[in-house]
Structure 1
Protein backbone atom coordinates (compact mmCIF):
# COMPACT_ATOMS: atom_id res chain seq x y z
CA UNK A 1 0.00 0.00 0.00
CA UNK A 2 2.81 2.36 0.88
CA UNK A 3 4.55 1.52 -2.41
CA UNK A 4 1.38 2.31 -4.39
CA UNK A 5 1.01 5.62 -2.57
CA UNK A 6 4.65 6.45 -3.36
CA UNK A 7 4.11 5.70 -7.07
CA UNK A 8 0.99 7.88 -7.18
CA UNK A 9 2.83 10.73 -5.46
CA UNK A 10 5.65 10.37 -7.97
CA UNK A 11 3.15 10.50 -10.84
CA UNK A 12 1.65 13.72 -9.49
CA UNK A 13 5.10 15.22 -8.91
CA UNK A 14 6.11 14.36 -12.48
CA UNK A 15 2.97 16.00 -13.86
CA UNK A 16 3.63 19.18 -11.88
CA UNK A 17 7.25 19.26 -13.03
CA UNK A 18 6.18 18.69 -16.63
CA UNK A 19 3.84 21.67 -16.35
CA UNK A 20 6.61 23.87 -14.98
CA UNK A 21 9.02 22.73 -17.70
CA UNK A 22 6.77 23.00 -20.75
CA UNK A 23 3.32 24.20 -19.72
CA UNK A 24 3.91 27.86 -20.55
CA UNK A 25 5.37 27.01 -23.96
CA UNK A 26 2.39 24.77 -24.74
CA UNK A 27 0.04 27.51 -23.56
CA UNK A 28 1.64 30.03 -25.93
CA UNK A 29 1.33 27.54 -28.78
CA UNK A 30 -2.34 26.99 -27.96
CA UNK A 31 -3.10 30.74 -27.89
CA UNK A 32 -1.32 31.25 -31.21
CA UNK A 33 -3.33 28.37 -32.67
CA UNK A 34 -6.65 29.89 -31.59
CA UNK A 35 -5.75 33.32 -32.99
CA UNK A 36 -4.56 31.85 -36.30
CA UNK A 37 -7.63 29.64 -36.65
CA UNK A 38 -10.00 32.60 -36.53
CA UNK A 39 -7.71 34.85 -38.58
CA UNK A 40 -7.60 32.34 -41.43
CA UNK A 41 -11.32 31.71 -41.11
CA UNK A 42 -12.12 35.40 -41.62
CA UNK A 43 -9.50 35.79 -44.36
CA UNK A 44 -10.94 32.82 -46.25
CA UNK A 45 -14.46 34.22 -45.99
CA UNK A 46 -13.33 37.67 -47.07
CA UNK A 47 -10.91 36.84 -49.87
CA UNK A 48 -11.25 33.12 -50.54
CA UNK A 49 -8.19 30.82 -50.74
CA UNK A 50 -6.00 33.64 -52.06
CA UNK A 51 -6.42 35.42 -48.71
CA UNK A 52 -4.56 32.64 -46.91
CA UNK A 53 -2.10 32.08 -49.76
CA UNK A 54 -1.11 35.76 -49.82
CA UNK A 55 0.70 35.33 -46.50
CA UNK A 56 1.97 31.81 -47.22
CA UNK A 57 4.93 33.00 -49.29
CA UNK A 58 6.72 34.11 -46.13
CA UNK A 59 4.86 32.38 -43.32
CA UNK A 60 4.95 28.78 -44.56
CA UNK A 61 8.74 28.58 -45.23
CA UNK A 62 9.40 30.05 -41.75
CA UNK A 63 7.00 27.46 -40.29
CA UNK A 64 8.75 24.56 -42.04
CA UNK A 65 12.22 25.86 -41.18
CA UNK A 66 11.21 25.57 -37.52
CA UNK A 67 10.57 21.84 -38.01
CA UNK A 68 13.73 21.39 -40.08
CA UNK A 69 16.13 23.03 -37.59
CA UNK A 70 14.73 20.97 -34.72
CA UNK A 71 15.14 17.78 -36.77
CA UNK A 72 18.86 18.56 -37.07
CA UNK A 73 19.16 19.35 -33.35
CA UNK A 74 17.45 16.12 -32.25
CA UNK A 75 19.17 13.81 -34.71
CA UNK A 76 16.20 12.96 -36.93
CA UNK A 77 16.91 12.01 -40.53
CA UNK A 78 15.13 14.40 -42.90
CA UNK A 79 13.80 12.52 -45.94
CA UNK A 80 11.81 15.21 -47.74
CA UNK A 81 11.14 18.94 -47.38
CA UNK A 82 8.59 21.14 -49.10
CA UNK A 83 8.84 24.76 -48.00
CA UNK A 84 5.86 25.92 -50.05
CA UNK A 85 3.32 24.28 -52.36
CA UNK A 86 0.31 26.22 -53.56
CA UNK A 87 -1.64 23.60 -55.51
CA UNK A 88 -1.88 20.68 -53.10
CA UNK A 89 -5.42 19.17 -53.28
CA UNK A 90 -5.43 18.63 -49.49
CA UNK A 91 -4.50 22.24 -48.79
CA UNK A 92 -1.11 21.30 -47.30
CA UNK A 93 1.13 24.32 -47.89
CA UNK A 94 4.39 22.70 -46.77
CA UNK A 95 5.86 19.81 -44.83
CA UNK A 96 9.01 18.21 -43.45
CA UNK A 97 9.19 14.42 -43.50
CA UNK A 98 11.62 12.86 -41.08
CA UNK A 99 12.55 9.53 -39.53
CA UNK A 100 14.01 8.64 -36.14
CA UNK A 101 15.23 5.68 -34.15
CA UNK A 102 12.36 4.52 -31.89
CA UNK A 103 14.86 3.02 -29.45
CA UNK A 104 16.55 6.40 -28.92
CA UNK A 105 15.06 8.26 -25.96
CA UNK A 106 16.79 11.46 -27.11
CA UNK A 107 15.20 11.28 -30.56
CA UNK A 108 11.80 10.41 -29.12
CA UNK A 109 11.95 13.46 -26.85
CA UNK A 110 12.91 15.45 -29.93
CA UNK A 111 9.45 14.82 -31.41
CA UNK A 112 8.06 17.38 -28.98
CA UNK A 113 10.46 20.13 -30.00
CA UNK A 114 10.18 19.28 -33.71
CA UNK A 115 6.40 19.59 -33.45
CA UNK A 116 6.75 22.90 -31.59
CA UNK A 117 9.43 24.11 -34.01
CA UNK A 118 7.26 26.73 -35.80
CA UNK A 119 6.70 28.56 -32.51
CA UNK A 120 10.48 28.91 -32.05
CA UNK A 121 11.17 29.85 -35.68
CA UNK A 122 8.22 32.25 -35.80
CA UNK A 123 9.30 34.16 -32.69
CA UNK A 124 12.93 34.09 -33.86
CA UNK A 125 12.04 35.39 -37.32
CA UNK A 126 9.95 38.21 -35.85
CA UNK A 127 12.84 39.27 -33.62
CA UNK A 128 15.30 39.18 -36.54
CA UNK A 129 12.82 41.15 -38.66
CA UNK A 130 12.63 43.80 -35.95
CA UNK A 131 16.41 43.92 -35.65
CA UNK A 132 16.90 44.41 -39.40
CA UNK A 133 13.93 46.60 -40.37
CA UNK A 134 13.10 48.58 -37.22
CA UNK A 135 16.30 48.38 -35.13
CA UNK A 136 15.38 51.20 -32.75
CA UNK A 137 12.20 49.37 -31.77
CA UNK A 138 14.22 46.18 -31.32
CA UNK A 139 16.73 47.85 -29.01
CA UNK A 140 13.95 49.53 -27.07
CA UNK A 141 12.18 46.22 -26.48
CA UNK A 142 15.45 44.45 -25.70
CA UNK A 143 16.26 47.14 -23.13
CA UNK A 144 12.84 46.64 -21.55
CA UNK A 145 13.49 42.89 -21.25
CA UNK A 146 16.87 43.53 -19.66
CA UNK A 147 15.53 46.05 -17.13
CA UNK A 148 12.13 44.60 -16.22
CA UNK A 149 12.23 40.83 -16.77
CA UNK A 150 14.05 38.68 -14.26
CA UNK A 151 14.38 34.87 -14.12
CA UNK A 152 11.65 33.13 -12.18
CA UNK A 153 9.27 36.11 -11.93
CA UNK A 154 6.44 34.23 -13.61
CA UNK A 155 2.94 35.69 -13.68
CA UNK A 156 0.53 36.93 -16.33
CA UNK A 157 1.71 40.52 -15.95
CA UNK A 158 5.00 39.52 -17.62
CA UNK A 159 3.35 38.88 -20.97
CA UNK A 160 0.90 41.80 -20.60
CA UNK A 161 3.63 44.31 -19.79
CA UNK A 162 5.95 42.92 -22.48
CA UNK A 163 3.15 43.23 -25.07
CA UNK A 164 2.52 46.83 -24.02
CA UNK A 165 6.25 47.56 -24.20
CA UNK A 166 6.66 46.16 -27.68
CA UNK A 167 3.50 47.94 -28.88
CA UNK A 168 4.83 51.23 -27.54
CA UNK A 169 8.23 50.71 -29.15
CA UNK A 170 6.82 49.75 -32.56
CA UNK A 171 3.86 52.03 -33.14
CA UNK A 172 5.63 55.38 -32.96
CA UNK A 173 5.14 58.35 -35.27
CA UNK A 174 8.67 57.87 -36.57
CA UNK A 175 7.94 54.24 -37.50
CA UNK A 176 4.58 55.09 -39.09
CA UNK A 177 6.44 57.40 -41.47
CA UNK A 178 9.11 54.79 -42.18
CA UNK A 179 8.51 52.47 -45.21
CA UNK A 180 10.63 49.79 -43.56
CA UNK A 181 8.14 49.62 -40.69
CA UNK A 182 5.32 48.80 -43.12
CA UNK A 183 7.53 46.18 -44.74
CA UNK A 184 8.10 44.69 -41.28
CA UNK A 185 4.35 44.77 -40.64
CA UNK A 186 3.70 42.70 -43.80
CA UNK A 187 6.51 40.35 -42.80
CA UNK A 188 5.18 39.99 -39.24
CA UNK A 189 1.55 39.43 -40.29
CA UNK A 190 2.64 36.78 -42.80
CA UNK A 191 4.61 34.88 -40.18
CA UNK A 192 1.87 35.19 -37.56
CA UNK A 193 -0.66 33.79 -40.04
CA UNK A 194 1.27 30.50 -40.25
CA UNK A 195 2.94 30.12 -36.87
CA UNK A 196 0.51 27.72 -35.22
CA UNK A 197 0.75 23.94 -35.29
CA UNK A 198 -1.08 21.60 -37.65
CA UNK A 199 -2.79 18.43 -36.44
CA UNK A 200 0.25 16.41 -37.57
CA UNK A 201 2.54 18.79 -35.63
CA UNK A 202 0.44 18.35 -32.48
CA UNK A 203 0.41 14.56 -32.84
CA UNK A 204 4.18 14.48 -33.19
CA UNK A 205 4.69 16.84 -30.26
CA UNK A 206 2.38 14.76 -28.06
CA UNK A 207 4.50 11.64 -28.68
CA UNK A 208 7.56 13.53 -27.54
CA UNK A 209 5.69 14.91 -24.53
CA UNK A 210 4.77 11.40 -23.42
CA UNK A 211 8.43 10.37 -23.51
CA UNK A 212 9.45 13.48 -21.55
CA UNK A 213 6.87 12.59 -18.89
CA UNK A 214 8.09 8.99 -18.77
CA UNK A 215 11.70 10.12 -18.32
CA UNK A 216 10.66 12.53 -15.55
CA UNK A 217 8.69 9.77 -13.82
CA UNK A 218 11.63 7.34 -13.89
CA UNK A 219 14.04 10.01 -12.64
CA UNK A 220 11.65 10.88 -9.80
CA UNK A 221 11.25 7.22 -8.85
CA UNK A 222 15.03 6.82 -8.60
CA UNK A 223 15.38 10.17 -6.81
CA UNK A 224 12.71 9.09 -4.30
CA UNK A 225 14.69 6.01 -3.34
CA UNK A 226 17.85 8.12 -3.02
CA UNK A 227 16.00 10.84 -1.06
CA UNK A 228 16.84 13.53 -3.64
CA UNK A 229 14.53 16.52 -4.07
CA UNK A 230 14.06 16.96 -7.84
CA UNK A 231 11.27 19.53 -7.49
CA UNK A 232 13.58 22.37 -6.44
CA UNK A 233 15.94 21.57 -9.30
CA UNK A 234 13.09 21.60 -11.84
CA UNK A 235 11.74 24.90 -10.49
CA UNK A 236 15.24 26.38 -10.82
CA UNK A 237 15.53 25.13 -14.40
CA UNK A 238 12.18 26.62 -15.34
CA UNK A 239 13.22 30.19 -14.63
CA UNK A 240 13.64 30.49 -18.41
CA UNK A 241 9.83 30.50 -18.70
CA UNK A 242 9.86 34.20 -17.84
CA UNK A 243 11.74 34.87 -21.07
CA UNK A 244 9.49 32.48 -23.01
CA UNK A 245 6.49 34.58 -21.94
CA UNK A 246 8.24 37.91 -22.59
CA UNK A 247 9.53 37.09 -26.08
CA UNK A 248 6.34 35.28 -27.11
CA UNK A 249 4.54 38.60 -26.65
CA UNK A 250 5.71 39.69 -30.12
CA UNK A 251 4.11 36.62 -31.74
CA UNK A 252 0.90 37.04 -29.76
CA UNK A 253 0.74 40.76 -30.60
CA UNK A 254 1.03 40.24 -34.34
CA UNK A 255 -1.28 37.24 -34.28
CA UNK A 256 -3.86 39.52 -32.66
CA UNK A 257 -3.18 42.25 -35.24
CA UNK A 258 -3.65 39.66 -37.99
CA UNK A 259 -6.96 38.65 -36.44
CA UNK A 260 -8.13 42.28 -36.33
CA UNK A 261 -7.12 42.88 -39.97
CA UNK A 262 -8.83 39.70 -41.18
CA UNK A 263 -11.98 40.57 -39.20
CA UNK A 264 -12.07 44.07 -40.73
CA UNK A 265 -11.70 42.60 -44.24
CA UNK A 266 -14.47 40.11 -43.51
CA UNK A 267 -16.80 42.86 -42.25
CA UNK A 268 -16.02 45.02 -45.28
CA UNK A 269 -16.80 42.11 -47.60
CA UNK A 270 -20.08 41.48 -45.76
CA UNK A 271 -20.97 45.16 -46.04
CA UNK A 272 -20.32 45.18 -49.79
Structure 2
Protein backbone atom coordinates (compact mmCIF):
# COMPACT_ATOMS: atom_id res chain seq x y z
CA UNK A 1 0.00 0.00 0.00
CA UNK A 2 2.93 2.34 0.63
CA UNK A 3 4.14 1.62 -2.89
CA UNK A 4 0.69 2.32 -4.34
CA UNK A 5 0.56 5.65 -2.51
CA UNK A 6 4.04 6.61 -3.64
CA UNK A 7 3.30 5.63 -7.23
CA UNK A 8 0.26 7.89 -7.19
CA UNK A 9 2.33 10.76 -5.84
CA UNK A 10 5.00 10.26 -8.48
CA UNK A 11 2.90 9.53 -11.57
CA UNK A 12 -0.74 10.11 -10.67
CA UNK A 13 -0.79 13.70 -11.91
CA UNK A 14 0.76 12.80 -15.23
CA UNK A 15 -1.68 9.92 -15.76
CA UNK A 16 -4.64 12.14 -14.88
CA UNK A 17 -3.51 14.74 -17.41
CA UNK A 18 -3.10 12.02 -20.04
CA UNK A 19 -6.64 10.69 -19.56
CA UNK A 20 -8.13 14.21 -19.57
CA UNK A 21 -6.32 15.12 -22.80
CA UNK A 22 -7.50 11.87 -24.40
CA UNK A 23 -11.11 12.71 -23.54
CA UNK A 24 -10.81 16.25 -24.93
CA UNK A 25 -9.07 15.01 -28.09
CA UNK A 26 -11.86 12.53 -28.83
CA UNK A 27 -14.43 15.31 -28.50
CA UNK A 28 -12.64 17.75 -30.82
CA UNK A 29 -11.90 15.12 -33.47
CA UNK A 30 -15.51 13.92 -33.35
CA UNK A 31 -16.79 17.41 -34.14
CA UNK A 32 -14.23 17.95 -36.91
CA UNK A 33 -15.05 14.57 -38.46
CA UNK A 34 -18.78 15.24 -38.36
CA UNK A 35 -18.23 18.62 -40.01
CA UNK A 36 -15.70 17.69 -42.71
CA UNK A 37 -15.20 13.92 -42.64
CA UNK A 38 -11.63 12.64 -42.94
CA UNK A 39 -10.44 16.01 -44.25
CA UNK A 40 -11.32 17.53 -40.88
CA UNK A 41 -8.90 15.19 -39.13
CA UNK A 42 -6.16 15.77 -41.72
CA UNK A 43 -6.54 19.54 -41.23
CA UNK A 44 -4.77 19.14 -37.88
CA UNK A 45 -3.06 15.75 -38.24
CA UNK A 46 -0.37 16.91 -40.71
CA UNK A 47 1.39 18.65 -37.80
CA UNK A 48 -0.03 17.01 -34.69
CA UNK A 49 0.71 13.42 -35.72
CA UNK A 50 4.45 13.92 -36.51
CA UNK A 51 4.91 15.63 -33.14
CA UNK A 52 3.10 12.73 -31.46
CA UNK A 53 5.32 10.14 -33.16
CA UNK A 54 8.50 12.16 -32.60
CA UNK A 55 7.84 11.92 -28.87
CA UNK A 56 7.75 8.12 -29.11
CA UNK A 57 10.93 8.04 -31.21
CA UNK A 58 12.94 10.26 -28.84
CA UNK A 59 12.00 8.14 -25.83
CA UNK A 60 12.90 4.98 -27.76
CA UNK A 61 16.38 6.40 -28.25
CA UNK A 62 16.64 7.46 -24.60
CA UNK A 63 15.66 4.00 -23.32
CA UNK A 64 17.78 2.12 -25.88
CA UNK A 65 14.92 0.55 -27.83
CA UNK A 66 15.69 -0.35 -31.43
CA UNK A 67 13.42 1.50 -33.84
CA UNK A 68 12.39 -0.80 -36.67
CA UNK A 69 10.19 1.59 -38.62
CA UNK A 70 8.75 5.10 -38.29
CA UNK A 71 5.83 6.64 -40.11
CA UNK A 72 5.56 10.24 -38.95
CA UNK A 73 2.47 10.84 -41.08
CA UNK A 74 0.48 8.87 -43.65
CA UNK A 75 -2.73 10.36 -44.92
CA UNK A 76 -3.93 7.46 -47.08
CA UNK A 77 -3.42 4.46 -44.81
CA UNK A 78 -6.13 1.80 -45.45
CA UNK A 79 -6.51 1.10 -41.72
CA UNK A 80 -6.76 4.80 -40.80
CA UNK A 81 -3.54 4.83 -38.79
CA UNK A 82 -2.00 8.27 -39.26
CA UNK A 83 1.45 7.39 -37.90
CA UNK A 84 3.37 4.91 -35.78
CA UNK A 85 6.74 3.95 -34.33
CA UNK A 86 7.58 0.26 -34.42
CA UNK A 87 10.28 -0.68 -31.89
CA UNK A 88 11.73 -3.63 -30.04
CA UNK A 89 13.75 -4.06 -26.86
CA UNK A 90 15.58 -6.52 -24.67
CA UNK A 91 12.92 -7.95 -22.37
CA UNK A 92 15.64 -9.04 -19.97
CA UNK A 93 16.65 -5.42 -19.39
CA UNK A 94 14.83 -3.75 -16.52
CA UNK A 95 15.82 -0.31 -17.84
CA UNK A 96 14.40 -0.97 -21.29
CA UNK A 97 11.29 -2.64 -19.90
CA UNK A 98 10.57 0.28 -17.57
CA UNK A 99 11.17 2.60 -20.50
CA UNK A 100 7.96 1.33 -22.10
CA UNK A 101 6.04 3.58 -19.72
CA UNK A 102 7.84 6.72 -20.80
CA UNK A 103 7.73 5.73 -24.48
CA UNK A 104 3.97 5.23 -24.15
CA UNK A 105 3.28 8.60 -22.51
CA UNK A 106 5.86 10.49 -24.60
CA UNK A 107 3.26 12.23 -26.85
CA UNK A 108 1.82 14.01 -23.81
CA UNK A 109 5.25 15.26 -22.76
CA UNK A 110 6.18 16.14 -26.35
CA UNK A 111 2.90 17.94 -26.90
CA UNK A 112 3.32 20.04 -23.76
CA UNK A 113 6.91 20.90 -24.70
CA UNK A 114 5.86 21.83 -28.26
CA UNK A 115 3.12 24.14 -27.02
CA UNK A 116 5.49 25.90 -24.64
CA UNK A 117 8.12 26.21 -27.39
CA UNK A 118 5.54 27.57 -29.84
CA UNK A 119 4.49 30.19 -27.30
CA UNK A 120 8.13 31.13 -26.71
CA UNK A 121 8.75 31.64 -30.44
CA UNK A 122 5.47 33.23 -31.56
CA UNK A 123 4.28 35.01 -28.41
CA UNK A 124 7.45 35.72 -26.39
CA UNK A 125 5.88 38.39 -24.17
CA UNK A 126 3.04 36.08 -23.19
CA UNK A 127 5.50 33.23 -22.68
CA UNK A 128 7.68 35.15 -20.22
CA UNK A 129 4.64 36.47 -18.34
CA UNK A 130 3.20 32.94 -18.11
CA UNK A 131 6.48 31.43 -16.88
CA UNK A 132 6.91 34.20 -14.32
CA UNK A 133 3.35 33.84 -13.06
CA UNK A 134 3.51 30.06 -12.98
CA UNK A 135 6.78 30.04 -11.01
CA UNK A 136 5.41 32.58 -8.54
CA UNK A 137 2.42 30.38 -7.77
CA UNK A 138 4.36 27.12 -7.97
CA UNK A 139 3.98 24.77 -5.07
CA UNK A 140 3.77 21.12 -4.31
CA UNK A 141 0.49 19.37 -3.59
CA UNK A 142 -0.60 16.91 -0.98
CA UNK A 143 -4.02 15.96 -2.35
CA UNK A 144 -6.00 15.70 -5.57
CA UNK A 145 -7.75 18.96 -4.65
CA UNK A 146 -4.40 20.76 -4.48
CA UNK A 147 -3.43 19.33 -7.85
CA UNK A 148 -6.65 20.52 -9.52
CA UNK A 149 -6.42 23.96 -7.90
CA UNK A 150 -2.78 24.40 -8.91
CA UNK A 151 -3.51 23.40 -12.51
CA UNK A 152 -6.58 25.64 -12.70
CA UNK A 153 -4.63 28.64 -11.41
CA UNK A 154 -1.94 28.08 -14.04
CA UNK A 155 -4.62 27.88 -16.75
CA UNK A 156 -6.06 31.22 -15.63
CA UNK A 157 -2.62 32.83 -15.72
CA UNK A 158 -2.07 31.50 -19.23
CA UNK A 159 -5.52 32.56 -20.42
CA UNK A 160 -4.93 36.15 -19.27
CA UNK A 161 -1.51 36.31 -20.90
CA UNK A 162 -2.52 34.80 -24.24
CA UNK A 163 -5.83 36.50 -24.98
CA UNK A 164 -4.80 40.13 -24.77
CA UNK A 165 -5.87 42.96 -27.04
CA UNK A 166 -2.36 43.26 -28.43
CA UNK A 167 -2.12 39.57 -29.26
CA UNK A 168 -5.47 39.52 -31.05
CA UNK A 169 -4.06 42.00 -33.57
CA UNK A 170 -0.92 39.96 -34.26
CA UNK A 171 -0.83 37.36 -37.08
CA UNK A 172 1.57 35.35 -34.90
CA UNK A 173 -1.22 34.89 -32.34
CA UNK A 174 -3.56 33.30 -34.89
CA UNK A 175 -0.74 31.13 -36.22
CA UNK A 176 0.00 29.99 -32.68
CA UNK A 177 -3.69 29.28 -32.07
CA UNK A 178 -3.84 27.07 -35.16
CA UNK A 179 -0.61 25.25 -34.26
CA UNK A 180 -1.94 24.70 -30.74
CA UNK A 181 -5.12 23.26 -32.21
CA UNK A 182 -3.10 20.85 -34.37
CA UNK A 183 -0.98 19.68 -31.43
CA UNK A 184 -3.88 19.41 -28.98
CA UNK A 185 -5.95 17.38 -31.45
CA UNK A 186 -3.29 14.64 -31.54
CA UNK A 187 -1.60 14.78 -28.16
CA UNK A 188 -3.48 11.95 -26.47
CA UNK A 189 -2.44 8.31 -26.31
CA UNK A 190 -3.70 5.59 -28.61
CA UNK A 191 -4.76 2.17 -27.35
CA UNK A 192 -1.35 0.75 -28.29
CA UNK A 193 0.37 3.62 -26.49
CA UNK A 194 -1.56 2.84 -23.31
CA UNK A 195 -0.78 -0.87 -23.56
CA UNK A 196 2.94 -0.13 -23.83
CA UNK A 197 2.78 2.38 -20.99
CA UNK A 198 0.98 -0.17 -18.81
CA UNK A 199 3.73 -2.75 -19.36
CA UNK A 200 6.32 -0.22 -18.25
CA UNK A 201 4.22 0.91 -15.29
CA UNK A 202 4.04 -2.66 -13.97
CA UNK A 203 7.84 -2.85 -14.04
CA UNK A 204 8.19 0.53 -12.31
CA UNK A 205 5.73 -0.51 -9.62
CA UNK A 206 7.61 -3.78 -9.06
CA UNK A 207 10.85 -1.83 -8.62
CA UNK A 208 9.15 0.49 -6.13
CA UNK A 209 7.83 -2.49 -4.14
CA UNK A 210 11.33 -4.00 -3.98
CA UNK A 211 12.77 -0.65 -2.93
CA UNK A 212 10.23 -0.32 -0.12
CA UNK A 213 10.80 -3.92 0.99
CA UNK A 214 14.55 -3.31 1.23
CA UNK A 215 13.93 -0.02 3.04
CA UNK A 216 11.71 -1.79 5.58
CA UNK A 217 14.54 -4.19 6.39
CA UNK A 218 16.80 -1.26 7.20
CA UNK A 219 13.99 0.65 8.93
CA UNK A 220 14.09 3.53 6.43
CA UNK A 221 10.95 5.52 5.70
CA UNK A 222 10.85 6.16 1.94
CA UNK A 223 7.71 8.31 1.85
CA UNK A 224 9.35 11.66 2.77
CA UNK A 225 11.96 11.19 0.03
CA UNK A 226 9.29 10.29 -2.52
CA UNK A 227 7.23 13.31 -1.49
CA UNK A 228 10.21 15.60 -2.07
CA UNK A 229 10.63 14.17 -5.57
CA UNK A 230 6.90 14.38 -6.22
CA UNK A 231 6.94 18.13 -5.58
CA UNK A 232 8.56 18.50 -8.99
CA UNK A 233 5.25 17.32 -10.44
CA UNK A 234 4.03 20.84 -9.68
CA UNK A 235 6.19 22.05 -12.56
CA UNK A 236 4.85 19.42 -14.91
CA UNK A 237 1.24 20.15 -13.95
CA UNK A 238 1.78 23.89 -14.32
CA UNK A 239 3.09 23.44 -17.85
CA UNK A 240 0.46 20.81 -18.65
CA UNK A 241 -2.13 23.49 -17.98
CA UNK A 242 -1.17 24.86 -21.42
CA UNK A 243 -2.10 21.55 -23.07
CA UNK A 244 -5.35 21.32 -21.12
CA UNK A 245 -6.34 24.92 -21.91
CA UNK A 246 -5.65 24.61 -25.63
CA UNK A 247 -7.37 21.24 -25.76
CA UNK A 248 -10.48 22.84 -24.25
CA UNK A 249 -10.25 25.70 -26.75
CA UNK A 250 -9.87 23.17 -29.56
CA UNK A 251 -13.05 21.41 -28.45
CA UNK A 252 -14.93 24.73 -28.38
CA UNK A 253 -13.62 25.80 -31.80
CA UNK A 254 -14.36 22.38 -33.30
CA UNK A 255 -17.87 22.45 -31.89
CA UNK A 256 -18.47 25.96 -33.27
CA UNK A 257 -17.24 24.86 -36.71
CA UNK A 258 -19.45 21.77 -36.57
CA UNK A 259 -22.54 23.84 -35.66
CA UNK A 260 -21.87 26.39 -38.43
CA UNK A 261 -21.21 23.65 -40.97
CA UNK A 262 -24.27 21.57 -40.12
CA UNK A 263 -26.61 24.28 -38.89
TM-score range, shorter chain: over 0.9
Residue in structure 1 matching 2:152, options 146, 153, 160: 160
Indicate if the aligned counterparts of 1:63 and 1:118 stay in contact, CA closer than 8 A: yes
Indicate if the aligned counterparts of 1:152 and 1:240 stay in contact, CA closer than 8 A: no
- Distance in 2 between the 1:230 and 1:142 partners? 32
Quick check: 1:218 aligned with 2:188? no
CA RMSD in angstroms, aligned pairs only: 1.0
- Match of 2:231, SS state, is helix
CA displacement at 1:52 relative to structure 2: 0.5
Q: Which residue pairs with 1:9 in the alignment?
A: none
Tell me the alpha carbon deviations over residues 104-159 of structure 1, each in whole angstroms, 9 at most, x when there is no partner: 11111100000000001100000110010010000000111221113457432111
Please tell me whether Structure 1 or Structure 2 has the larger radius of gyration of its CA atoms: 1
1:22-37 aligned at under 5 Å gives the runs 22-37=11-26
TM-score, normalised via structure 2 length: 0.97
- Match of 1:78, SS state, is strand
- Distance in 2 between the 1:105 and 1:52 partners? 38
Unpaired runs of at least 5, structure 2: none
TM-score, normalised via structure 1 length: 0.93
**Shift >6 Å, 4+ stretches:** none
Indicate if the aligned counterparts of 2:21 and 2:187 stay in contact, CA closer than 8 A: yes
Indicate if the aligned counterparts of 1:42 and 1:263 stay in contact, CA closer than 8 A: yes
- Distance in 2 between the 1:181 and 1:127 partners? 14
Unpaired runs of at least 5, structure 1: 1-11
1:1-272 aligned at under 5 Å gives the runs 12-152=1-141, 154-271=146-263
